[in-house]
A and B are shown apart, each in its own frame.
Chain A
Amino acid sequence: DTGVSQDPRHKITKRGQNVTFRCDPISEHNRLYWYRQTLGQGPEFLTYFQNEAQLEKSRLLSDRFSAERPKGSFSTLEIQRTEQGDSAMYLCASSQLAGVGGDTQYFGPGTRLTVL
């Protein structure tokens, strides 16, 4: 399978704990995105990388959130001191920025976070 993969698929944690999610993009893709999606809403942009550089962060991304893409391949999203409001599906997407054409993003299956 050469699609975007995310790990874990489900995470249950207690309020105040730290959690880390991993995303493995499609291998030749240079852009990687993180989104958050709550029930009944569309995905909300959190941040994106072009290669290893984090180029944009949403205002939604508080200081408790940090994302890395150390070698321009996989990425991690860490949430520190989780709160119940962090409960959501966290989606990762990747794309290959080309000279022409739109930025077509391919999504992973998501990580469902539940904060108790």
Chain B
Amino acid sequence: LAKTTQPISMDSYEGQEVNITCSHNNIATNDYITWYQQFPSQGPRFIIQGYKTKVTNEVASLFIPADRKSSTLSLPRVSLSDTAVYYCLGPRYTNAGKSTFGDGTTLTVKP
């Protein structure tokens, strides 16, 4: 089963930029890379999705190198409310809907 690898935890301070990298060596040609944020006792929330190069939206940027075997979620100027678990959604089987979450990265933002 295709699997992603992320750091288990990261610490940061308010106002800093945070970069979380995910490895997905088994990514298939038609797979997109999706990141989610999850707070305790809530369902995951979609943050950003991309296929290659760079994608930016109002909350984050996603950098994907040419080989697509990894991706980096960038959160600019984090605040205390960004403390959460961040998941890189792994590749799925081609032609199937199965989506594989890893164990995520717990980001703790300190004042």
Q: Hey, which bits of chain A sit against chain B, CB under 8 A?
A: 4, 31, 33, 35, 40-45, 48, 50, 55-56, 58, 89, 91, 93, 101-110, 112
Query: Which residues of chain B are near A55, meaning CB under 8 Å?
Result: 96-97
State the Cβ distance, B58 to closest chain A Cβ, in Å: 16
Query: Which residues of chain A are near B97, meaning CB under 8 Å?
Result: 31, 33, 48, 50, 55-56, 103
State the Cβ distance, B5 to closest chain A Cβ, in Å: 12
> A109 contacts B43, CB within 8 Å?
yes
State the Cβ distance, B54 to closest chain A Cβ, in Å: 16
Query: Which residues of chain A are near B92, meaning CB under 8 Å?
Result: 103
Q: B97's closest neighbor in chain A, by CB? A: A48
> A108 contacts B51, CB within 8 Å?
no
> Interface of chain B, helix or strand or loop or mixed?
loop
Q: Hey, which bits of chain B sit against chain A, CB under 8 A?
A: 31-34, 36, 41-46, 49, 51, 87, 89, 92, 96-104
Q: A4's closest neighbor in chain B, by CB? A: B43
State the Cβ distance, B43 to closest chain A Cβ, in Å: 3
How far is it, in angstroms, between the C-alpha of A94 and the C-alpha of B29 when the chains are bound? 23
A-B contact pairs, 20 of them (CB 8 A): A40-B103, A42-B87, A44-B101, A45-B99, A45-B100, A91-B43, A101-B32, A101-B49, A102-B31, A102-B33, A102-B49, A102-B51, A103-B92, A104-B46, A105-B46, A105-B89, A105-B99, A107-B36, A107-B43, A112-B41
Q: B34's closest neighbor in chain A, by CB? A: A102
State the Cβ distance, A66 to closest chain B Cβ, in Å: 18
> A102 contacts B46, CB within 8 Å?
no
